[in-house]
Structure formats: C-alpha cells, structure tokens
Amino acid sequence: MNAIISATDLASDLAGENPPVLLDVRWQLSMAKATGEPPFDGRAAHAAGHIPGAVFVDLDADLAGPAGAAGRHPLPDVEHFGAVMRAAGVSADRPVVVYDGGQGWAAARAWWLLRWTGHQAVRVLDGGLAAWTGERESGETSAAAEGTFTPVPGSVELLDADGAAALARSGLLLDARAAERYRGDVEPIDRVGGHVPGAVSAPTTENVVDDGRFRPAEELAARFKSLGASGTSRVGVYCGSGVSGAHQVLALAVAGIPAALYVGSWSEWSSDPARPVATGAEPQ
C-alpha cells in the first residue's frame, strides 16, 4: 500500500463500500511560552471545520507520553494509544487515513505510530486539509462505532540513543531538522545545538513542494541516494522530538526506502551531557 493518498483518491474511497477511518491530527510546534502568543488549539480548529467524519486526535496527549528525559514527545503509553485509536473507530481490518493542517508532520507521527503498533493499512493525506476541496463539517465528531484495534509494538524498527549513535557510523542517520539547527548556529528549544556525530543533514522541508505535497517518488529516491541511501545500508532518522522525523520516514517510504525512527531525537540526546555533540556543516 502506498504511504500517501491524494485528496481525489480519498474522496473516491470515502464514497466506496469500505471507507477509511479518518483521523484529524492538526498540531503546531508551539513557541507560545517564548512569544506570549496563545498556543495553537487543534481541537478548536477541528471543530471549526474538518473533512466529514474525521475524528480529532491530540498529538501531545495521545501520540506522545509526558515530556522528560526521554524527550519532548516520547512514545505514548501503548494501552492509552490503543484506547484512543479504538475510540476513534480504528480496527485492524479497516483502512485509516490521517491528515493535519498541511505541514504533514503530525499526520506522519500518527501514521508511524499506527505502523509501529501493527496496523497494515494506514496512509497520510498528501498536502493535508489544505488539499481537500470537498465539503467540510463543523463541531466535534465521534466515531460511528468503536474500533477493535489492539496495538502490538515492534512492527517497524525503532531506534534508541545508542542505536542512533551506532547507525550514524555503520549506516546512514539523517537529521530532519533545519540546517541551522544541525550546524548548531541556533537552538531555540533544546539545551545545546548541533547534531549526533556522524549524522547527515537532511531537512524534511526539502521533501515537499510549496503546497506541502510530497515530491514525486523518483525525486525523493534521488535525493536520498545523494545523501547516502545506497539501498544496502540501514537508514535511520531523527529530528527535534520525533515528529518531523516521522515525516522524513514517510518521505523515505514514498521513495521505497525503509527507515527506522529515533523517537527521542535531539531533545533526548542533547539532554544528556555525556552524549557527544558535533557542530558545523559536516557529519564528523
């Protein structure tokens, strides 16, 4: 199954005999504490208008555990995640489509978690809600019937800090953050700037075109090949906290390249003073 779906194909599937479960995971990385602005409210955005039938899922509450030593968005409690998915109508034998406001990061996080916990038929709406030209409904939607999905972790590869460090030397570890954060020029969130020694800079923003849709698979494959994805070595990805990194894993999947996600990412790595930090444009 392709990892993404166009808005046109989604409309067709929704009108079919086995329509997918729709999950709305609108979310933004909030700098509200630093700027004094109110944080983004995904639930309010969902209530204001969403694809008919879509159920809202909260990334911070449902797709991540409490922030701490394991990072800003560590893995959620599996039992809680399963309960949220069932409440949203998710079952193993029914396809799922996830979307967000258009950036794709939050939708990719839900996509990755569902894959990691064993769901075999989940896709991301390419371009997010912005790509949807059909009608919308307002108010908060509940699933028509509770699903039966039981998460079984481990269906796709997961990296911890030690695994990421090893992969940076033995394979290819991609850093999905902006290049200036990779270099250590700026660090607006975490304790220290820089990157995992040996990691290669690969901003996830370069995987999409201006409207947020993914570049064609052949372009993505060429990009990742130029970064060192040879087709024989293992590939891993990290970002700031395991959200934009999931989007990079999704882009790799579109290109036909399996990749592991280091969920703790830089927020976990940089919180431990014993972990080495590289700076500058080169992997080192």
Q: Cα–Cα distance between 42 and 175 in angstroms, integer?
A: 27
Bridge-based pairing of strands 55-56 and 96-99 is unpaired
Within 10 A of 143 (CB to CB), how many other CB atoms are there? 17
Active-site residue, selected from the candidate residues 96, 239, 250, 253: 239
Task: Give the list of residues 6+ apart from residue 189 with CB closer than 8 angstroms, or none.
Answer: 72, 240, 267
Query: Where do we find the tokens 């052949």?
Result: 218
H-state helical runs in the chain: 7-14, 32-35, 42-48, 59-62, 78-87, 105-116, 161-170, 179-183, 217-227, 244-254, 265-269
Active site residue 239: yes
Say how far apart CA 33 and CA 13 lie, in whole Å. Answer: 41
* Burial 59-73, CB ≥16 within 10 A → b, else e: bbebbbbeeeebbbb
CA distance 81 to 91: 13
Reading phi first (left if > 0) and then psi (alpha if -120 to 50, else beta), residue 212 is in left
Cα 98 to Cα 16, 17, 149, 179, 226: the distances in Å are 18, 19, 16, 28, 30
Residues labelled as active-site residues: 239
